């Protein structure tokens, strides 16, 4: 595969995921109590929001790169 085509596919997938999920969610653990053999932890949910504009732009740029990669590979001729 050509590099432009591969990067385009990756951008399309990431952009679609950003549009569908709207952000990245992750969890962190924090020690609340650590006394001798007793350890109590809490799990905190954090989210990094992604703008729908970001997802849309990523999809459009990805489609452009896929088209450019296809055109570049379909040229006849030798280098």
Q: Give the pTM.
A: 0.65
Give residue limits of the domains in the chain.
3-73
List pLDDT tens digits, range 25-35. Answer: 899 998 888 88
Gap between the Cα atoms of 47 and 15, Å rounded: 17
Residues 6+ apart with CB under 8 A from 64: 8
Gap between the Cα atoms of 41 and 45, Å rounded: 13
Confidence of residue 65 (pLDDT cuts 50, 70, 90): very high
């Amino acid at each position: 595969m050509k590099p432009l085509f591969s990067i385009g596919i990756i951008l399309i997938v990431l952009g679609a995921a950003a549009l569908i999920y709207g952000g990245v969610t992750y969890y962190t653990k924090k020690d609340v109590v650590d006394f001798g053999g007793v350890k109590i932890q809490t799990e905190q949910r954090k989210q990094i929001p992604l703008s729908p504009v970001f997802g849309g732009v990523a999809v459009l740029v990805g489609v452009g790169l896929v088209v450019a990669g296809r055109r570049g590979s379909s040229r006849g001729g030798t280098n």
